[in-house]
Amino acid sequence: MVWKEGQELQAGKYIIGKVLGQGGFGITYQALHTTLNQQVVIKTPNEYLQHDPDYDKYVKRFIKEARLIAKLSQDPHPHIVRVSDLFNEGETHCLVMEFIPGKSLFELVGKQGALPEAEAINYIRQIGDALAFVHQQGLVHRDAHPGNIMLRGKGKAVLIDFGISGELVPTTVSSMHPGNKGFAPIEQMQGYRQPTLDIVCDRRLKNIIGDRTLRKQACMSSQQT
């Protein structure tokens, strides 16, 4: 079930706020960490997946996402979301991450159209640095699009949602979620994976983001999954 505002988790450690987003794989909530008096984000698998025969696979992927972000959080990068906790509430797995106040790049471009060149380049460089850091850790994101880039304060971009990220692996054909249909390169959509190709796909995604933020279009495809 979708939790209601005010619901307490972990014996009152967290209090659920509003729903921030809901997709085919997960639900994200804004919540309050009562001990620290700090806003956080709590992500859970979508309840409808519990009836899917492959639900155990989704849970494993969910836990994998948490561990990958936790690995990156050991040496925090200013442009990558941080994870702080992973727990079970009843039978529901919960991933706790930092709350980033502000809009996504998708929302910003959708509202005001093409960004000034200097602003767009600033965001592109930051996400490029974040992806390079991810690759240095032996990981790949695979889903970097404007909807997964939050803007913190003025001029600071943060890469979120590592739900289909993974380790750089030998050449395989993968049946995993291929990523955002409006942004994923054709090789990724077809499921081909190898270390160099995974990195190239992440870099292509970064270039497409740059193209979409500089051109007068609202990146509407970034919410297709």
Q: How many Å apart are CA 80 and CA 97, to the nearest integer?
A: 11
Looking at residue 24, its amino acid is G
Please give the sequence-ordered ranges of beta strands (E in DSSP) within 64-217, or none if there are none.
83-89, 92-98, 139-140, 149-152, 156-159, 166-167, 172-173, 192-193
Identified catalytic residue from 52, 54, 143, 161: 143
Residues 6+ apart with CB under 8 A from 101: 39, 152
Q: 97 in helix, strand or coil?
A: strand
How many Cβ atoms sit within 10 Å of the Cβ of residue 5?
12
For the question of residue 143 being annotated catalytic, the response is: yes
Active site residues: 143
